[in-house]
Chain A
Amino acid sequence: MYDVRQVREDFPILKRRVGDRPLVYLDNAATSQKPRQVLDALTEYYERHNANIHRGVHRLAEEATALYEEARRKVARFLGAPDTRSVVFTRGTTESINLVAYAWGRKNLREGDEVVLTESEHHSNLVPWQLAARAAGAKLRFIPVREDGALDMEAAEQLIGPRTRLVGCIHASNVLGTINPVERLAALAHAHGALMLVDGAQSAPHVPVDVKSLGCDFFAASGHKMLGPTGVGVLWARPELLEEMDPFLGGGEMIREVHLEYSTWNDIPYKFEAGTMNIAQAIGLGAAVDYLSGLGMENVREHERHLGEYAYRRLSELEGITIFGPEKDRTGVVAFHLPDVHPHDLSQLLDEEGIATRSGHHCCQPLMRRLGVAATARASFYLYNTEEEVDALVEAVQRAREFFGAFAR
């Protein structure tokens, strides 16, 4: 049985207060809080093992290298990756996708080629492709989002064709609370000889991920959204693709032999890890995936599905509210719009009650245009949130509406 009270005990920050109120942290799609186990891993590393990796022969360097590579094995297992060499540490999802757009795109995109994305991409899976497409003379095409938040798969079948070189899609939406059928998109892409990139920033923290069964070629995720530290993320790619790709960043560690005029590259994944990496953060991410695996990702998913649906139901009680995305089978991301209180003002009033939410375009300006709003309010739940916190949110939203309503009369 999933015991959320027990889980909360592991997160020191959940005990703090904001003003005179207990913190209600509902901005998990932006970043997650960290359990004691991750904080301890960071402290332990800095207090006992801190050294640069892969280069020193002294004891600390050996220990640091072993911990860093152990973290890579943990992340590979967590993602269902059969080959540890296929896991590249990056700074986060954004860097992972930029790595692919640059290192794969520069070599493989040609004039007239097409990259198929969706209308609901986070800017991190849109802007890198705009840059890559412009450099190559390639075209971007977009799978539309239907009214219910789902992708228009009929349109996808038309859009993905012989010119398509790559299909890129968010696995879970940071606005709509949807999980996209990336397996089907991958099959469509492969039927036309294209590759499939999955932006897993909002899925890896929340649902079981197995890159084999997704059938994708690239999978990107961020450590800080899945209980890990900031500054570390992951790119998983089929190893043969990593072998073929040229490096992204040049410098130390990514080389084998360096001459004044040319160099040769290190083996994968090191070919893509130039300079001193965020070693402590990678080790912290290893501790985070251990923690998640200990809870069981199926349990995490069920807890959040319940909270997402409960939040949808409770918020629906508010007159005039628009809630984006599906009512059922959603993730813990719930974005909504009120006719009478601007999202910014709402977040400010909620903050006054210790409730942390996000307002704005959520790095999805094209999706906001599609939804016909400039900004939305968003509550996003994680494995430590409770029904009582959903209730606190709904009551605080009601009070915010009353506060604004009093001035309107």
Chain B
Amino acid sequence: MDYALFLGCIIPNRYPGIELSIKKVAENMGFGLKDLPGASCCPAPGVFKSFDHATWLALAARNLVIAESLGADVVTMCNGCYSTLKETNKILKNDFGKRNEVNEVLKPFNKEFKGTINVKHLLEVLYNDIGLEKIKGMVKKPLNLKIAVHYGCHIVKPTKERENIKSAERPKFFDELVEVLGAKSISYKDKMMCCGAGGGVRAAYLDTALDMTREKLENAQEAGADCIVTPCAFCHLQLDRGQIEIRDRTGTSFNMPILHYVQLLGLALGLKPEELGLFNNAVPVDSVLKKIGT
């Protein structure tokens, strides 16, 4: 099965290692990925949805239409992109008034929203379409790591817009996806807490955003985590580059390696760290590679 890979902004423009990882992982696992030529920012839910609903909807619709023209479901690796594209896809599928409005705007570009595809997070593809059993069978290198999983917010919330999520308080699917790779998902204080970046807070109030990040990092460190693993590019950026920003402001160094889940999965599939862009993080991941013997 082929998926339309929605890159968003942070993955191609700041962490191309994550883009490289998904290509290698897809190849390895045997599912196809199609580019979305000319896609733009999703646009980001916390900011653009906060500014103007109609513009948010129209720009997202344009991205969805590109995927529709490929006849492939969208896969994202950023909770923000997931939130925007999933929610706008639902609005446009159900609200014909809004759909007409958007199609009016898209018409000059020979684009029309038809409602023919679904939007999935990579974790949904792995958990629902491929399945834990199959992933387990593909693991070449079980990972003896203690991992603090960071779900991020928009992959599970709001649950009224996430038909597969019953409760956002103690979800399990991400922990299971980590543990199927041989790693241990450790419990830590305030595990479901936000990284601090969303809603335009990183842009407008960086110190506030970083204070939340600091708390998250402290809690993971106290629980003895070897690294934090996230399924979201924006959380990844906040937790990784945020550590440099925290160090510059307060002098505190956490040296906590941050991996996107697709990179962790790649390691377990036996891919080399350079095939996963693991040397391009702000905080080195050497301690993780050493522990798993790569």
Is B one of A's binding partners?
Answer: no
Chain B residues packing against A (C-beta within 8 Å): none
